[in-house]
Amino acid sequence: MGTLSMLPLDYIEFFIFLVLLCAVGFFSGRGERKTSADYFLAGRTLPWYVVGGSYVAANVSTEHFVGLVGASYIMGVVPAQAQWATSLVILLIIFLFVPFLLKARITTIPEYLSRRFGSGTRLSFAVITVIANITIFMAAVMYAGGLALSAFFGWPLLWCIIGTGIFAGGWAVYGGLSTAAWTGLVTAVVKVGGVGLLTIFALKGMTPSGGILDGFWSVIEHNRGTEGVWREAVAASGPHLTQMGAYNRLSVIQPPDHPLIPWTSIIFTIVSVGVWYGAMNQFIVQRVLGAKNIWHARMGLMVAGYAKFLLPLIIVLPGLILFQRHPEYMLGDWKTAQHQADAGFVTLVQEFLPAGLRGLLLAVLFSAVQATVTSVVNATAAILTLDLYVPLVNPGATDRQKVRVGVIASIVAIAAGIAMAIVVSQTSSGIFQYMQTLNAFVAPPFAALFWVGLLWKRTNGAGAMASIIGGFAVAAAIKAGGELWQMPSWYYPFGNQAAVCWVLCVGFCIAGTLLRPGLTPGMARDNVTLWDSREALSEGLGKHWYTSVFFWGGLLLALTLASMAYFSSLFFPVR
């Protein structure tokens, strides 16, 4: 694959982006080291549009552009299901978890777990979260960003990883969450606008008329795979994706053995991986905890929910476009087809992005790394400082000491993330598969204890630890079983494995509580479940229809369910 040449206009575009990003980072981070609340929660002053924009920026990174375009080429529209399921998760968080967490006035999720289950659960979750932040999120994002930059411009991969890590993480060191959130808003606009522009150019190139809608319907029709080489491509790829009948590229409801999102895992993925990622993941939920009030937190998340609903237009549709453009990839060796699909984003840029806009592409790639790495670094520093350093090393730490340790922890997190990204670059597994497999391993035990603890007042630390220990043991056994013995095809999708693990973890949590009942030392006695916070659930819902959380939430729910129904065999049956 050849590298992209840069025109003077491209460098000007990228320079303007860097100046804007640095200006926003500098002004938003001034004075944010005065107190730990400023550094880790932006002084709880974030407005709804910053909460929503930075949430999207932290959530959508290079692995979406690089990984999901390739996955959509191979599998069709089904990766959209993950984005739409996230919209449903966000609605759960808006109506159930936001008022509960904000009323608790916590800085980190482990702090809540300490009040609910005791210090043992807090320590376990804090350690695993730090490890997950570095090995799952920072490593994959830095590697994917470095890989894309290296592929596009021919720069050495090692220096691309190191450079993006230092530049992106440096802003978290400087200004904490405030800088992460405000620069995240800027990068969200750049990412969505830049990749959206690429999608528009690609759609215009799909038909002789050059019309965007004509191009869209042409892409949909070719992805049906009903004639010519596209039919051959679907027939060739189908056996690799399911053993349960003909494959439907235009359905998000897939058989139980589908490798990415089988229908059997949809609900369980929402309540396990979805809730862990959206409500317990510090680098995601931290900007919610930093919101001005409950309404700003809820409405910010509503913006994020609509963004996730629309996101398939720029990360899934390009994969479908690539299938219309290059169905021949599917007709060769399967592993070669997967590698060609992983390079799909690069291919689309080379074929459709006109000269003079490649500086915008470089800005998009930097934005994708910047937002996620900055957020993860600040979240990791918060946990290392407030959940490990303070309770274990210096319980009487002053605000100045907490901020100083937070800065040091941020630098350590950046270095560790860069090192792990270099390690990941030496592996052969795909970026998206790497992340999802680890997510499915980590999420079920903590999501289970979170749900049981919120709904059942008797839940205690013994139950929480039973969920953690039992959950990781079950997850390891499931993985080992699939390696040692030949299992049915439905056994292997990580979504199904996560579902089984989550159900068992709920049982472990209940059993552990019943076997060792009573309060765990350090547990709070009151206001520990959703039932204790009924008044808070009704706060911050908006006074007018245009500020109503119920109105916008109901509309998002209807649109999401309608989209899931439309992209199914009801409207696109297999021919």
pLDDT in tens, 372-426: 788 888 888 889 998 999 888 898 888 888 888 888 888 888 898 888 888 877 7
Q: How far apart (Å, rounded) are the C-alpha atoms in residues 511 and 563?
A: 39
Tally the C-alpha atoms within 13 A of residue 344's C-alpha that lie toward its C-beta. 34
Question: Which residue's entry shows tokens 């109506």?
Answer: 95
Surface-to-core class of residue 42, CB atoms within 10 Å of its CB (0-12 exposed, 13-18 middle, 19+ buried): buried
User: What is each CA distance from 168 to 141, 147, 517, in whole angstroms?
Assistant: 11, 16, 47
> Phi/psi of residue 46, each to 5°?
-75, 130
Distance between CA atoms of residues 252 and 255, nearest Å: 10
Rounded to 5 degrees, what angle do the CA atoms 420, 422, 425 make?
110
Structure tokens at 502: 């989550």
Count other Cβ atoms within 10 Å, centred on residue 400: 12
pLDDT tens digit sequence for 229-270: 999 999 999 898 888 888 999 999 999 988 888 898 888 888
Rg for the chain, CA atoms, rounded: 23
pTM for this structure? Answer: 0.88
* DSSP assignment letter at 97: I
* Cβ within 8 Å of residue 543, ≥6 positions away: none
Please give the pLDDT value at position 437.
63
Give the model confidence (pLDDT) of 2-14 as tens digits: 566 677 888 888 8
**Rounded Cα distance, 14 and 18, in Å:** 6
pLDDT at res. 435: 60
Separation of alpha carbons 256 and 244, rounded Å? 8
Mean pLDDT, rounded, of the chain: 85
Contact (CB, 8 A) for 492 and 264: no
* Confidence at residue 564, expressed as pLDDT on a 0 to 100 scale: 95
- Element holding 364 (H helix, E strand): helix 358-383
Share of the chain above pLDDT 90, in %: 29
Per the CB < 8 A criterion, the answer to whether 455 and 530 are in contact is yes
pLDDT: is 492 or 293 the higher one?
Answer: 293
How does pLDDT run across 449-468, given as a tens digit for each residue?
999 988 888 899 999 999 99
Residue 447 to residue 348: CA distance in whole angstroms: 38
Residue 262 phi, psi (nearest 5): -70, 150
The predicted pLDDT at position 296 comes to: 93
- The angle at the Cα of 555, spanning 54 to 58, to the nearest 5 degrees, equals 15
Summarize pLDDT for 12-40 with one digit per residue, the tens: 888 888 888 888 877 877 765 667 777 77
- Neighbour count for residue 23 (Cβ, 10 Å): 12
Per-residue pLDDT reduced to its tens digit, 287-320: 888 888 899 999 999 999 999 999 999 989 999 9
Total Cβ atoms within 10 A of residue 570: 10
Q: Specify burial of residue 484 (Cβ count, 10 A radius: 0-12, 13-18, 19+).
A: exposed
- pLDDT attached to residue 339: 77
Q: Residue 527: pLDDT above 90? A: no
Helix, strand, coil fractions of the chain, as percent rounded to 5? 75, 0, 20
Residues above pLDDT 70, as percent of the chain: 94
Identify the CA nearest to 318 among candidates 74, 120, 130. 74
Q: Of 323, 196, 224, whose CA–CA distance to 573 is shortest?
A: 224
Residue 291 dihedral angles phi and psi, to the nearest 5°: -70, 155
**431 — pLDDT class (breaks 50, 70, 90):** low
Residue 379 burial by CB count (10 A; 0-12/13-18/19+): exposed, middle or buried? buried
Banded pLDDT at 428 (limits 50, 70, 90): very low
pLDDT in tens, 541-571: 888 888 999 999 999 999 999 999 999 999 9
Mean of the pLDDT values across residues 176-202?
84
Q: Does 65 have pLDDT greater than 90?
A: no
507 pLDDT exceeds 90? yes
Which of 124-128, 246-250, 526-530 has the weakest average pLDDT? Answer: 526-530
Select, from the ranges 99-113, 250-264, 344-358, the one with the highest average predicted confidence (pLDDT): 250-264
